[in-house]
């Protein structure tokens, strides 16, 4: 079946602008995660959604970052007033309930100029 | 404070030989460990995992070893193939489904023909 998809694949924005990144998880996966990967570094957890429970926002680096998820489907990650340090690849992952393995999308490469 | 560390940023191996990638962790709450492989411009792909109740898990050419007392795990690939050239990330989680993964910084493996 279809994997996790993300859009756009690349986004270049000017410092101070808002951006919205989209994730479509694998159908039936109840858990959805956002991570980011800065150049040359490992993946850094941002936020986690599980069904209708309150999201775990403990990884969000500042209040400029927010995310929403509609039921058990699409999620959007919004970064307001982007800064150059926000430049990274933003990765979305999903997993079935009670599973530990996460399945990743191809990522959105965000460049803030 | 990096809870998962991959101390070798890169590794070069001849085709047909064994590749050994290492990973160390500090958080004793970690109970489940995963290895992901990442090609450029793609999301990480799940490779193999191990629970802390085991010390070895094998899947074809890939074997993961866990030394819980040393808080160390390793991924062995044998025989190595040129298609194995990628960045390998180890990740850890407390083992409750729905916990975010904590990733190491990755090791770039190059398998030379």
| Nearest chain A CA: its distance from B82 CA (Å) | 22
Please write the tens of the pLDDT for every residue from A78-94. 999 999 999 999 999 99
3-state secondary structure of B82: helix
| Nearest chain A CA: its distance from B73 CA (Å) | 17
Residue B102 · residue B28 · CB < 8 Å: no
* pLDDT in the model for residue B108: 97
Closest Cα partner for B3 from B65, B86, B94? B94
* pLDDT in the model for residue B98: 66
Residue B56: CB atoms within 10 Å = 10
Residue B27 — very low, low, confident or very high, per pLDDT cuts 50/70/90? very high
Beta bridge partners of A20: A78
Q: In the predicted model, is pLDDT for residue B48 greater than 90?
A: yes
Helix locations, chain A, DSSP H: none
Q: Alpha-carbon distance B35 to B45, whole Å? A: 9
Q: Where are the beta strands (DSSP E) in B17-95?
A: 19-25, 32-38, 45-51, 56-59, 62-67, 72-77, 86-93
Residue A24 · residue B43 · CB < 8 Å: no
- Angle at alpha carbon of residue B16, lines to B70 and B14, rounded to 5°: 80
* pLDDT in the model for residue B24: 98
Residues 23 through 82 of chain A touching chain B, CB cutoff 8 Å: 31, 33, 35, 40-45, 48, 50, 56, 59
3-state secondary structure of A71: coil
Please write the tens of the pLDDT for every residue from A14-63. 999 999 999 999 998 999 999 999 988 889 999 999 888 889 999 999 99
Average pLDDT score over residue span B71-76:
98
Assigned token pair, A65: 């970052």
Say which of B89, B95, B100 has its CB closest to residue A42.
Answer: B89
* pLDDT in the model for residue A42: 87
Note whether B43 contacts A50, CB cutoff 8 Å.
no
Beta bridge partners of A76: A22, A68
Prior bond of A102 cis (ω within 30°)? no
* pLDDT in the model for residue A99: 80
Note whether B103 contacts A43, CB cutoff 8 Å.
yes
3-state secondary structure of B76: strand
């Amino acid at each position: 079946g279809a994997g996790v998809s993300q859009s756009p694949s690349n986004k270049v924005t000017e410092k101070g602008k808002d951006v919205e990144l989209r994730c479509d998880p694998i159908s039936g996966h109840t858990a959805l995660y956002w991570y980011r990967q800065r150049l040359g570094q490992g993946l850094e957890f941002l936020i986690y959604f599980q069904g209708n429970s309150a999201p775990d926002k403990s990884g969000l680096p500042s209040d400029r970052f927010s995310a929403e998820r509609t039921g058990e489907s699409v999620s959007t990650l919004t970064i307001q007033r982007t800064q150059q340090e926000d430049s990274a690849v933003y990765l979305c992952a999903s997993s079935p309930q009670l599973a530990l393995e996460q399945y990743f999308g191809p990522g959105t490469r965000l460049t803030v100029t | 404070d990096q809870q998962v560390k991959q101390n070798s940023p890169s590794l070069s191996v001849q085709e047909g030989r064994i590749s050994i990638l290492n990973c160390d962790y500090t958080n004793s709450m970690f109970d489940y460990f995963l290895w992901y492989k990442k090609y450029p411009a793609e999301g990480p792909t799940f490779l193999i995992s191990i629970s802390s109740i085991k010390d070895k898990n094998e899947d074809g050419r890939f074997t993961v070893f866990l030394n819980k007392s040393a808080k160390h795990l390793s991924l062995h690939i044998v025989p190595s193939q040129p298609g194995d050239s990628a960045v390998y990330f180890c990740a850890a989680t407390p083992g409750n489904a729905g916990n975010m993964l904590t990733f190491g910084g990755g090791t770039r493996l190059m398998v030379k023909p």
